[in-house]
Structure 1
Amino acid sequence: MDEVEVVVAHSERATLRVGDVFLKVDADQARIDVEVEAMSRAPVPTPEVLWRKPPVLAIAALPGTTLGRLGGPSTASPAAWAAAGAAIRTLHEAPLPPWPGRAGRSSVALAAELDAECDVLVTRGLLPADLVTRNRRVAQAALRPWTPTFTHGDLQIAHVFVEGDEVTGVIDWSEAGRGDALYDLATFTLGYESRLDDVLAGYGTDIDLDVIRAWWSLRSLLAVRWLIEHGFDPFAPGCEVDVLKSRM
Protein backbone atom coordinates (compact mmCIF):
# COMPACT_ATOMS: atom_id res chain seq x y z
CA MET A 1 0.00 0.00 0.00
CA ASP A 2 1.22 3.52 -0.78
CA GLU A 3 2.27 5.74 2.09
CA VAL A 4 0.01 8.61 3.12
CA GLU A 5 1.77 11.96 2.68
CA VAL A 6 0.43 15.04 4.43
CA VAL A 7 0.82 17.78 1.83
CA VAL A 8 -0.64 20.59 3.92
CA ALA A 9 -2.75 20.62 7.07
CA HIS A 10 -4.19 23.29 9.33
CA SER A 11 -7.42 23.94 11.21
CA GLU A 12 -9.41 24.86 8.08
CA ARG A 13 -8.48 22.05 5.69
CA ALA A 14 -5.99 19.31 4.91
CA THR A 15 -4.62 17.72 1.75
CA LEU A 16 -3.24 14.17 1.72
CA ARG A 17 -1.51 12.26 -1.07
CA VAL A 18 -1.84 8.50 -1.54
CA GLY A 19 0.03 7.41 -4.65
CA ASP A 20 -1.36 9.35 -7.60
CA VAL A 21 -4.46 10.52 -5.72
CA PHE A 22 -4.84 13.68 -3.67
CA LEU A 23 -7.53 13.80 -0.98
CA LYS A 24 -8.69 17.26 0.03
CA VAL A 25 -10.56 17.37 3.33
CA ASP A 26 -12.51 20.57 3.92
CA ALA A 27 -15.31 21.15 6.42
CA ASP A 28 -16.55 24.08 4.32
CA GLN A 29 -18.59 22.40 1.58
CA ALA A 30 -18.96 25.72 -0.26
CA ARG A 31 -15.20 25.85 -0.87
CA ILE A 32 -15.21 22.39 -2.41
CA ASP A 33 -18.22 23.32 -4.56
CA VAL A 34 -16.37 26.38 -5.84
CA GLU A 35 -13.25 24.35 -6.54
CA VAL A 36 -15.06 21.74 -8.63
CA GLU A 37 -17.11 24.30 -10.52
CA ALA A 38 -14.10 26.53 -11.20
CA MET A 39 -12.06 23.61 -12.57
CA SER A 40 -14.91 22.71 -14.91
CA ARG A 41 -15.00 26.28 -16.26
CA ALA A 42 -11.29 27.12 -16.40
CA PRO A 43 -9.76 27.10 -19.92
CA VAL A 44 -6.43 25.81 -18.59
CA PRO A 45 -5.41 22.26 -17.58
CA THR A 46 -6.75 21.22 -14.16
CA PRO A 47 -6.69 17.95 -12.19
CA GLU A 48 -9.24 15.24 -12.96
CA VAL A 49 -11.93 14.94 -10.29
CA LEU A 50 -12.05 11.25 -9.33
CA TRP A 51 -14.86 11.36 -6.78
CA ARG A 52 -16.53 13.48 -4.12
CA LYS A 53 -17.85 12.36 -0.75
CA PRO A 54 -18.18 15.36 1.57
CA PRO A 55 -16.06 16.49 3.23
CA VAL A 56 -13.53 14.82 0.88
CA LEU A 57 -12.64 15.62 -2.73
CA ALA A 58 -10.38 13.15 -4.58
CA ILE A 59 -8.39 14.44 -7.55
CA ALA A 60 -5.72 12.88 -9.75
CA ALA A 61 -2.09 13.97 -9.61
CA LEU A 62 -0.87 16.19 -12.42
CA PRO A 63 2.15 15.40 -14.59
CA GLY A 64 5.25 17.52 -14.17
CA THR A 65 6.45 19.51 -11.17
CA THR A 66 5.58 22.83 -9.60
CA LEU A 67 7.44 25.97 -10.59
CA GLY A 68 8.70 26.15 -7.02
CA ARG A 69 7.59 27.12 -3.53
CA LEU A 70 7.69 30.48 -1.79
CA GLY A 71 11.02 30.92 -0.05
CA GLY A 72 12.75 28.28 -2.17
CA PRO A 73 14.62 28.40 -5.47
CA SER A 74 12.94 27.89 -8.82
CA THR A 75 14.89 25.95 -11.43
CA ALA A 76 12.21 26.46 -14.10
CA SER A 77 13.32 28.12 -17.31
CA PRO A 78 12.28 31.64 -18.38
CA ALA A 79 10.18 29.93 -21.07
CA ALA A 80 8.29 27.96 -18.40
CA TRP A 81 7.54 31.14 -16.47
CA ALA A 82 6.39 32.78 -19.70
CA ALA A 83 4.16 29.78 -20.44
CA ALA A 84 2.60 30.24 -17.01
CA GLY A 85 2.01 33.90 -17.82
CA ALA A 86 0.25 32.90 -21.06
CA ALA A 87 -1.94 30.41 -19.16
CA ILE A 88 -2.90 33.09 -16.65
CA ARG A 89 -3.87 35.43 -19.50
CA THR A 90 -6.04 32.66 -21.00
CA LEU A 91 -7.82 32.31 -17.66
CA HIS A 92 -8.35 36.05 -17.32
CA GLU A 93 -9.89 36.25 -20.79
CA ALA A 94 -12.38 33.44 -20.12
CA PRO A 95 -16.09 34.09 -19.48
CA LEU A 96 -16.71 35.33 -15.95
CA PRO A 97 -17.94 32.83 -13.36
CA PRO A 98 -21.20 33.88 -11.65
CA TRP A 99 -19.70 34.20 -8.16
CA PRO A 100 -17.21 36.63 -6.58
CA GLY A 101 -13.83 35.25 -5.57
CA ARG A 102 -11.09 36.03 -3.12
CA ALA A 103 -9.59 38.56 -5.52
CA GLY A 104 -12.94 40.29 -5.91
CA ARG A 105 -13.30 42.12 -2.61
CA SER A 106 -14.28 45.77 -2.96
CA SER A 107 -11.64 48.44 -2.41
CA VAL A 108 -13.61 49.85 0.52
CA ALA A 109 -13.92 46.50 2.27
CA LEU A 110 -10.31 45.61 1.55
CA ALA A 111 -9.03 48.95 2.89
CA ALA A 112 -10.98 48.45 6.12
CA GLU A 113 -9.65 44.89 6.49
CA LEU A 114 -6.12 46.03 5.79
CA ASP A 115 -6.24 48.91 8.28
CA ALA A 116 -7.56 46.61 10.99
CA GLU A 117 -4.89 43.99 10.26
CA CYS A 118 -2.09 46.57 10.26
CA ASP A 119 -3.27 47.77 13.67
CA VAL A 120 -3.16 44.21 15.03
CA LEU A 121 0.31 43.56 13.58
CA VAL A 122 1.67 46.62 15.38
CA THR A 123 -0.23 46.40 18.68
CA ARG A 124 0.68 42.72 19.13
CA GLY A 125 4.29 43.39 18.22
CA LEU A 126 4.26 40.95 15.32
CA LEU A 127 5.98 43.41 12.97
CA PRO A 128 7.80 46.74 13.46
CA ALA A 129 5.55 49.78 13.07
CA ASP A 130 7.71 51.41 10.39
CA LEU A 131 7.63 48.23 8.28
CA VAL A 132 3.85 48.07 8.51
CA THR A 133 3.36 51.79 7.84
CA ARG A 134 5.60 51.79 4.77
CA ASN A 135 3.93 48.76 3.25
CA ARG A 136 0.43 50.05 4.04
CA ARG A 137 1.37 53.15 2.03
CA VAL A 138 2.63 51.00 -0.87
CA ALA A 139 -0.51 48.83 -0.71
CA GLN A 140 -2.75 51.83 -1.33
CA ALA A 141 -2.11 51.60 -5.09
CA ALA A 142 -4.00 48.28 -5.23
CA LEU A 143 -7.16 49.94 -3.87
CA ARG A 144 -8.44 51.28 -7.18
CA PRO A 145 -11.24 50.47 -9.65
CA TRP A 146 -10.64 47.31 -11.69
CA THR A 147 -12.44 45.31 -14.36
CA PRO A 148 -13.48 41.85 -13.11
CA THR A 149 -11.88 38.80 -14.71
CA PHE A 150 -11.94 35.06 -14.05
CA THR A 151 -9.32 34.81 -11.31
CA HIS A 152 -7.79 31.83 -9.53
CA GLY A 153 -7.60 33.71 -6.23
CA ASP A 154 -4.65 31.81 -4.71
CA LEU A 155 -2.24 31.46 -7.60
CA GLN A 156 0.94 30.59 -5.71
CA ILE A 157 3.76 29.16 -7.82
CA ALA A 158 3.32 25.87 -5.94
CA HIS A 159 -0.12 25.61 -7.55
CA VAL A 160 1.18 25.68 -11.15
CA PHE A 161 2.72 22.54 -12.66
CA VAL A 162 5.01 22.46 -15.68
CA GLU A 163 6.77 19.80 -17.72
CA GLY A 164 9.66 21.26 -19.65
CA ASP A 165 8.40 24.60 -20.88
CA GLU A 166 4.70 23.73 -20.89
CA VAL A 167 2.04 24.19 -18.23
CA THR A 168 0.50 20.82 -17.35
CA GLY A 169 -2.03 22.00 -14.81
CA VAL A 170 -3.16 24.38 -12.09
CA ILE A 171 -4.46 23.19 -8.71
CA ASP A 172 -6.32 24.58 -5.65
CA TRP A 173 -9.26 26.53 -7.10
CA SER A 174 -11.29 27.02 -3.93
CA GLU A 175 -10.75 30.81 -3.94
CA ALA A 176 -11.59 31.27 -7.65
CA GLY A 177 -14.20 33.68 -8.97
CA ARG A 178 -14.60 37.19 -10.36
CA GLY A 179 -11.71 39.38 -9.28
CA ASP A 180 -8.76 41.63 -10.04
CA ALA A 181 -6.41 40.13 -12.62
CA LEU A 182 -3.40 41.86 -11.08
CA TYR A 183 -4.05 40.08 -7.78
CA ASP A 184 -3.38 36.76 -9.54
CA LEU A 185 -0.23 38.06 -11.20
CA ALA A 186 1.06 39.50 -7.92
CA THR A 187 0.30 36.30 -5.99
CA PHE A 188 2.08 34.25 -8.64
CA THR A 189 5.23 36.39 -8.54
CA LEU A 190 5.27 37.05 -4.76
CA GLY A 191 8.86 36.56 -3.65
CA TYR A 192 10.02 36.10 -7.24
CA GLU A 193 10.31 39.67 -8.46
CA SER A 194 13.18 38.66 -10.75
CA ARG A 195 10.75 36.42 -12.70
CA LEU A 196 8.11 39.10 -13.24
CA ASP A 197 9.45 40.11 -16.68
CA ASP A 198 9.27 36.48 -17.88
CA VAL A 199 5.70 36.12 -16.64
CA LEU A 200 4.60 39.38 -18.23
CA ALA A 201 6.28 38.41 -21.51
CA GLY A 202 3.96 35.43 -21.63
CA TYR A 203 0.97 37.37 -20.32
CA GLY A 204 1.39 39.72 -23.25
CA THR A 205 -0.14 43.01 -22.19
CA ASP A 206 0.94 46.16 -20.38
CA ILE A 207 0.63 45.93 -16.61
CA ASP A 208 0.82 48.66 -13.97
CA LEU A 209 3.86 47.53 -11.98
CA ASP A 210 3.01 49.83 -9.08
CA VAL A 211 -0.21 47.88 -8.60
CA ILE A 212 1.66 44.56 -8.69
CA ARG A 213 4.03 45.85 -6.00
CA ALA A 214 1.06 47.12 -4.03
CA TRP A 215 -0.55 43.69 -4.07
CA TRP A 216 2.73 42.14 -2.90
CA SER A 217 2.61 44.40 0.16
CA LEU A 218 -1.13 44.03 0.71
CA ARG A 219 -1.22 40.25 0.43
CA SER A 220 1.80 39.89 2.73
CA LEU A 221 0.36 42.21 5.38
CA LEU A 222 -2.89 40.25 5.42
CA ALA A 223 -1.11 36.90 5.50
CA VAL A 224 1.44 37.26 8.31
CA ARG A 225 -0.83 36.79 11.33
CA TRP A 226 -2.88 34.01 9.68
CA LEU A 227 0.28 32.11 8.82
CA ILE A 228 1.65 32.39 12.36
CA GLU A 229 -1.65 31.27 13.88
CA HIS A 230 -1.85 28.25 11.55
CA GLY A 231 1.66 26.96 12.15
CA PHE A 232 3.48 28.47 9.15
CA ASP A 233 6.53 30.75 9.20
CA PRO A 234 6.22 34.04 7.29
CA PHE A 235 9.66 35.02 8.65
CA ALA A 236 11.43 32.24 6.71
CA PRO A 237 13.93 33.49 4.10
CA GLY A 238 12.20 34.71 0.94
CA CYS A 239 8.72 34.59 2.46
CA GLU A 240 6.17 37.27 3.36
CA VAL A 241 8.22 39.28 5.86
CA ASP A 242 11.17 39.44 3.47
CA VAL A 243 8.74 40.63 0.77
CA LEU A 244 7.63 43.43 3.11
CA LYS A 245 11.23 44.35 3.94
CA SER A 246 12.09 44.59 0.23
CA ARG A 247 9.71 47.54 -0.07
CA MET A 248 11.62 49.56 2.55
Structure 2
Amino acid sequence: MDEVEVEVEVKVENEVKVVVAHSERATLRVGDVFLKVDADQARLDAEVEAMALVPVPTPEILWRKPPVLALAALPGTTLGRLGGPSTGSPAAWAAAGAAIRKLHEAPLPPWPARGKPLDELTAELDAECEHLVSNDVLPAALVTRNRQVAEAALRPWTPTFTHGDLQIAHIFVDDANEVTGIIDWSEAGPGDPLYDLATFTLGHEKHLPDVITGYGTDVDLDLDVIRAWWSLRSLLVIRWLTDHGFDPFAPGCEVDVLKSRM
Protein backbone atom coordinates (compact mmCIF):
# COMPACT_ATOMS: atom_id res chain seq x y z
CA MET A 1 0.00 0.00 0.00
CA ASP A 2 3.05 2.32 0.12
CA GLU A 3 2.58 3.53 -3.43
CA VAL A 4 0.38 3.16 -6.46
CA GLU A 5 1.44 2.73 -10.05
CA VAL A 6 -0.78 4.39 -12.62
CA GLU A 7 -0.85 2.88 -16.08
CA VAL A 8 -0.66 5.44 -18.89
CA GLU A 9 0.48 5.37 -22.48
CA VAL A 10 1.70 8.50 -24.26
CA LYS A 11 3.08 8.26 -27.79
CA VAL A 12 5.62 10.86 -28.90
CA GLU A 13 7.37 11.46 -32.20
CA ASN A 14 10.42 9.29 -31.57
CA GLU A 15 8.22 6.29 -30.70
CA VAL A 16 9.16 6.31 -27.02
CA LYS A 17 6.12 5.42 -24.92
CA VAL A 18 5.73 6.23 -21.24
CA VAL A 19 3.89 3.20 -19.92
CA VAL A 20 4.15 3.80 -16.16
CA ALA A 21 5.04 7.03 -14.40
CA HIS A 22 4.95 8.40 -10.87
CA SER A 23 7.21 10.40 -8.58
CA GLU A 24 9.62 7.58 -7.74
CA ARG A 25 10.00 5.62 -10.97
CA ALA A 26 9.00 5.37 -14.59
CA THR A 27 8.90 2.75 -17.34
CA LEU A 28 9.55 3.62 -20.97
CA ARG A 29 9.03 1.46 -24.04
CA VAL A 30 11.34 1.78 -27.03
CA GLY A 31 10.38 -0.78 -29.65
CA ASP A 32 10.49 -4.18 -27.96
CA VAL A 33 12.54 -2.96 -24.99
CA PHE A 34 11.20 -1.66 -21.69
CA LEU A 35 13.45 0.66 -19.70
CA LYS A 36 12.64 0.87 -15.99
CA VAL A 37 14.12 3.93 -14.30
CA ASP A 38 14.05 3.81 -10.51
CA ALA A 39 15.60 6.18 -8.00
CA ASP A 40 15.73 3.36 -5.42
CA GLN A 41 18.49 0.91 -6.34
CA ALA A 42 17.33 -1.52 -3.65
CA ARG A 43 13.95 -1.73 -5.34
CA LEU A 44 15.52 -2.65 -8.69
CA ASP A 45 17.67 -5.23 -6.91
CA ALA A 46 14.56 -6.70 -5.30
CA GLU A 47 12.80 -6.91 -8.66
CA VAL A 48 15.69 -8.77 -10.27
CA GLU A 49 15.99 -11.15 -7.32
CA ALA A 50 12.26 -11.88 -7.32
CA MET A 51 12.21 -12.66 -11.04
CA ALA A 52 15.04 -15.11 -10.52
CA LEU A 53 13.08 -16.97 -7.83
CA VAL A 54 9.49 -17.13 -9.05
CA PRO A 55 8.18 -20.27 -10.84
CA VAL A 56 6.21 -18.25 -13.41
CA PRO A 57 7.36 -16.63 -16.67
CA THR A 58 8.89 -13.16 -16.37
CA PRO A 59 10.48 -10.73 -18.85
CA GLU A 60 14.02 -11.41 -20.05
CA ILE A 61 16.56 -9.06 -18.46
CA LEU A 62 18.56 -7.53 -21.32
CA TRP A 63 20.93 -5.39 -19.26
CA ARG A 64 21.26 -3.35 -16.07
CA LYS A 65 22.95 -0.01 -15.59
CA PRO A 66 21.62 1.70 -12.45
CA PRO A 67 19.26 3.43 -12.26
CA VAL A 68 17.97 1.64 -15.40
CA LEU A 69 16.83 -1.95 -15.92
CA ALA A 70 16.20 -3.05 -19.52
CA LEU A 71 13.63 -5.81 -20.10
CA ALA A 72 12.42 -7.54 -23.25
CA ALA A 73 8.77 -7.07 -24.19
CA LEU A 74 6.48 -10.00 -23.48
CA PRO A 75 4.35 -11.67 -26.15
CA GLY A 76 0.60 -11.65 -25.70
CA THR A 77 -1.62 -8.98 -24.19
CA THR A 78 -3.08 -8.05 -20.85
CA LEU A 79 -6.68 -8.85 -19.95
CA GLY A 80 -7.69 -5.21 -19.67
CA ARG A 81 -7.11 -2.26 -17.39
CA LEU A 82 -8.79 -0.61 -14.44
CA GLY A 83 -11.54 1.63 -15.73
CA GLY A 84 -11.53 0.00 -19.15
CA PRO A 85 -13.12 -3.02 -20.78
CA SER A 86 -11.88 -6.46 -19.88
CA THR A 87 -10.77 -8.81 -22.61
CA GLY A 88 -9.96 -12.48 -22.88
CA SER A 89 -11.98 -15.63 -22.58
CA PRO A 90 -12.90 -17.29 -19.28
CA ALA A 91 -10.06 -19.71 -20.04
CA ALA A 92 -7.58 -16.82 -20.20
CA TRP A 93 -8.73 -15.49 -16.84
CA ALA A 94 -8.50 -19.01 -15.41
CA ALA A 95 -4.96 -19.32 -16.77
CA ALA A 96 -4.04 -16.15 -14.89
CA GLY A 97 -5.55 -17.65 -11.73
CA ALA A 98 -3.48 -20.82 -12.18
CA ALA A 99 -0.29 -18.77 -12.57
CA ILE A 100 -1.08 -16.80 -9.40
CA ARG A 101 -1.63 -20.07 -7.51
CA LYS A 102 1.73 -21.38 -8.77
CA LEU A 103 3.42 -18.25 -7.43
CA HIS A 104 1.69 -18.54 -4.06
CA GLU A 105 2.85 -22.16 -3.71
CA ALA A 106 6.52 -21.23 -4.22
CA PRO A 107 8.92 -21.19 -1.25
CA LEU A 108 8.93 -17.89 0.57
CA PRO A 109 11.63 -15.45 -0.56
CA PRO A 110 14.51 -14.74 1.85
CA TRP A 111 13.42 -11.20 2.73
CA PRO A 112 10.72 -9.83 5.04
CA ALA A 113 7.30 -8.64 3.99
CA ARG A 114 7.25 -5.11 2.59
CA GLY A 115 3.73 -4.25 3.70
CA LYS A 116 2.70 -2.48 6.87
CA PRO A 117 1.88 -4.34 10.10
CA LEU A 118 -1.83 -4.69 10.75
CA ASP A 119 -1.95 -1.94 13.38
CA GLU A 120 -0.25 0.56 11.04
CA LEU A 121 -2.46 -0.44 8.13
CA THR A 122 -5.57 -0.02 10.27
CA ALA A 123 -4.42 3.41 11.45
CA GLU A 124 -3.68 4.50 7.88
CA LEU A 125 -7.10 3.30 6.73
CA ASP A 126 -8.87 5.18 9.49
CA ALA A 127 -6.92 8.35 8.69
CA GLU A 128 -7.81 8.13 5.01
CA CYS A 129 -11.49 7.55 5.80
CA GLU A 130 -11.48 10.61 8.05
CA HIS A 131 -9.84 12.67 5.29
CA LEU A 132 -12.37 11.55 2.67
CA VAL A 133 -15.33 12.49 4.86
CA SER A 134 -14.02 15.69 6.47
CA ASN A 135 -12.94 17.11 3.11
CA ASP A 136 -16.21 16.15 1.37
CA VAL A 137 -14.38 13.93 -1.09
CA LEU A 138 -16.94 11.12 -0.67
CA PRO A 139 -20.26 10.82 1.16
CA ALA A 140 -19.93 9.64 4.74
CA ALA A 141 -22.31 6.72 4.16
CA LEU A 142 -20.17 5.42 1.29
CA VAL A 143 -16.97 5.65 3.32
CA THR A 144 -18.56 4.11 6.41
CA ARG A 145 -19.96 1.17 4.49
CA ASN A 146 -16.66 0.42 2.77
CA ARG A 147 -14.72 0.81 6.03
CA GLN A 148 -17.02 -1.89 7.44
CA VAL A 149 -16.39 -4.12 4.42
CA ALA A 150 -12.62 -3.52 4.64
CA GLU A 151 -12.51 -4.80 8.21
CA ALA A 152 -12.55 -8.40 6.96
CA ALA A 153 -9.12 -7.91 5.37
CA LEU A 154 -7.58 -6.69 8.63
CA ARG A 155 -6.80 -10.10 10.06
CA PRO A 156 -3.74 -12.35 10.44
CA TRP A 157 -2.86 -14.45 7.39
CA THR A 158 -0.39 -17.15 6.50
CA PRO A 159 2.14 -15.45 4.22
CA THR A 160 2.90 -16.81 0.77
CA PHE A 161 5.17 -15.60 -2.01
CA THR A 162 3.12 -12.71 -3.38
CA HIS A 163 3.62 -10.28 -6.23
CA GLY A 164 2.46 -7.38 -4.08
CA ASP A 165 1.15 -5.18 -6.91
CA LEU A 166 -0.62 -7.60 -9.23
CA GLN A 167 -2.63 -5.12 -11.26
CA ILE A 168 -4.52 -6.48 -14.26
CA ALA A 169 -1.96 -4.84 -16.56
CA HIS A 170 0.86 -6.93 -15.07
CA ILE A 171 -0.15 -10.36 -16.44
CA PHE A 172 0.18 -11.17 -20.16
CA VAL A 173 -1.76 -13.98 -21.87
CA ASP A 174 -1.50 -15.21 -25.49
CA ASP A 175 -4.14 -16.40 -27.95
CA ALA A 176 -3.73 -19.97 -26.69
CA ASN A 177 -4.78 -18.84 -23.19
CA GLU A 178 -1.27 -19.36 -21.82
CA VAL A 179 0.33 -16.87 -19.44
CA THR A 180 3.40 -15.52 -21.24
CA GLY A 181 4.73 -13.45 -18.40
CA ILE A 182 4.17 -11.36 -15.28
CA ILE A 183 5.86 -7.99 -14.90
CA ASP A 184 6.77 -5.44 -12.18
CA TRP A 185 8.11 -7.45 -9.26
CA SER A 186 9.51 -4.67 -7.08
CA GLU A 187 6.87 -5.18 -4.36
CA ALA A 188 7.21 -8.98 -4.26
CA GLY A 189 7.64 -10.73 -0.95
CA PRO A 190 5.80 -12.62 1.79
CA GLY A 191 2.23 -11.39 1.93
CA ASP A 192 -1.48 -12.12 1.91
CA PRO A 193 -2.32 -14.23 -1.15
CA LEU A 194 -5.87 -12.86 -1.18
CA TYR A 195 -4.46 -9.36 -1.68
CA ASP A 196 -2.90 -10.50 -4.97
CA LEU A 197 -6.21 -11.97 -6.12
CA ALA A 198 -8.07 -8.82 -5.11
CA THR A 199 -5.62 -6.49 -6.83
CA PHE A 200 -5.80 -8.49 -10.05
CA THR A 201 -9.61 -8.46 -10.15
CA LEU A 202 -10.13 -4.89 -8.89
CA GLY A 203 -12.82 -3.30 -11.04
CA HIS A 204 -13.43 -6.58 -12.88
CA GLU A 205 -15.51 -8.45 -10.29
CA LYS A 206 -17.38 -10.47 -12.90
CA HIS A 207 -14.16 -12.33 -13.76
CA LEU A 208 -13.37 -13.36 -10.19
CA PRO A 209 -15.13 -16.76 -10.61
CA ASP A 210 -12.97 -17.50 -13.68
CA VAL A 211 -9.80 -16.57 -11.79
CA ILE A 212 -10.85 -18.77 -8.87
CA THR A 213 -11.53 -21.65 -11.28
CA GLY A 214 -7.89 -21.54 -12.32
CA TYR A 215 -6.59 -20.82 -8.83
CA GLY A 216 -8.45 -23.72 -7.24
CA THR A 217 -10.75 -23.95 -4.24
CA ASP A 218 -8.78 -26.53 -2.28
CA VAL A 219 -7.30 -23.80 -0.08
CA ASP A 220 -8.59 -21.29 2.45
CA LEU A 221 -10.20 -18.90 -0.03
CA ASP A 222 -12.50 -16.37 1.64
CA LEU A 223 -14.25 -14.30 -1.03
CA ASP A 224 -15.38 -11.79 1.59
CA VAL A 225 -11.73 -11.03 2.28
CA ILE A 226 -11.08 -10.44 -1.42
CA ARG A 227 -14.00 -8.03 -1.52
CA ALA A 228 -12.66 -6.39 1.64
CA TRP A 229 -9.32 -5.79 -0.06
CA TRP A 230 -11.16 -4.09 -2.96
CA SER A 231 -12.65 -1.62 -0.51
CA LEU A 232 -9.49 -1.20 1.54
CA ARG A 233 -7.21 -0.60 -1.44
CA SER A 234 -9.65 1.86 -3.02
CA LEU A 235 -10.10 3.87 0.17
CA LEU A 236 -6.35 4.14 0.65
CA VAL A 237 -5.45 5.38 -2.84
CA ILE A 238 -8.09 8.02 -3.60
CA ARG A 239 -6.20 10.90 -1.99
CA TRP A 240 -2.92 9.91 -3.69
CA LEU A 241 -4.56 9.69 -7.09
CA THR A 242 -6.35 13.02 -6.68
CA ASP A 243 -3.22 14.80 -5.43
CA HIS A 244 -1.22 13.53 -8.42
CA GLY A 245 -3.69 14.60 -11.09
CA PHE A 246 -5.44 11.27 -11.73
CA ASP A 247 -9.15 10.60 -11.57
CA PRO A 248 -10.41 7.88 -9.21
CA PHE A 249 -13.93 9.04 -10.12
CA ALA A 250 -13.53 7.86 -13.74
CA PRO A 251 -16.00 5.14 -14.77
CA GLY A 252 -14.97 1.73 -13.47
CA CYS A 253 -12.23 3.08 -11.22
CA GLU A 254 -11.84 3.26 -7.45
CA VAL A 255 -14.94 5.27 -6.56
CA ASP A 256 -17.12 2.98 -8.65
CA VAL A 257 -15.53 0.01 -6.87
CA LEU A 258 -16.58 1.56 -3.57
CA LYS A 259 -20.11 2.27 -4.83
CA SER A 260 -20.49 -1.36 -5.83
CA ARG A 261 -20.25 -2.35 -2.15
CA MET A 262 -23.43 -0.36 -1.44
Q: Distance in 1 between matches of 2:233 and 2:261?
A: 13
1:141 corresponds to: 152
AA matched with 1:216: W
- Count of matched residue pairs: 247
> Which residue among 53, 65, 73 is the counterpart of 1:61?
73
- TM-score, length basis structure 1: 0.96
1:51 corresponds to: 63
2:126 corresponds to: 115
> Which residue among 149, 154, 163 is the counterpart of 1:152?
163
AA matched with 2:150: A
Alpha carbons 1:146, 1:180 under 8 Å: kept: yes
Q: Distance in 1 between matches of 2:51 and 2:243?
A: 29
Partner deviation per Cα, 1:3-56 (whole Å, 9 max, x = no partner): 111112221211110000001111111211111111111110000111111111
Alpha carbons 1:96, 1:149 under 8 Å: kept: yes
Give how far 1:2 is off: 6.0
> Which residue among 187, 211, 226 is the counterpart of 2:240?
226
Which segments of 5 or more consecutive residues in structure 2 lack a partner in the other structure?
1-12
> Which residue among 221, 224, 228 is the counterpart of 1:214?
228
2:5 corresponds to: none
Helix, strand or coil at the partner of 1:65: coil
1:97 corresponds to: 109
Q: Distance in 2 between matches of 1:64 and 1:215?
A: 28
Q: Distance in 2 between matches of 1:67 and 1:75?
A: 5
Q: Distance in 2 between matches of 1:101 and 1:71?
A: 29
2:46 corresponds to: 34
Alpha carbons 1:10, 1:231 under 8 Å: kept: no
Matched, 1:128 2:139: yes
Matched, 1:193 2:235: no
1:246 corresponds to: 260
AA matched with 1:223: V
Give the aligned CA root-mean-square deviation in angstroms. 1.4
Q: Distance in 2 between matches of 1:35 and 1:2?
A: 28
Q: Distance in 2 between matches of 1:231 and 1:12?
A: 15
1:85 corresponds to: 97
Percent identity for Structure 1 against Structure 2:
81
Give how far 1:227 is off: 1.4
Task: Please say which of residues 189-198 and 229-238 is displaced more in the overlay.
Answer: 229-238
AA matched with 2:145: R
| 1:85–1:162 distance in 2 versus 1, CA, 3 Å | same
Which segments of 5 or more consecutive residues in structure 1 lack a partner in the other structure?
none
- TM-score, length basis structure 2: 0.91
Alpha carbons 1:48, 1:60 under 8 Å: kept: yes
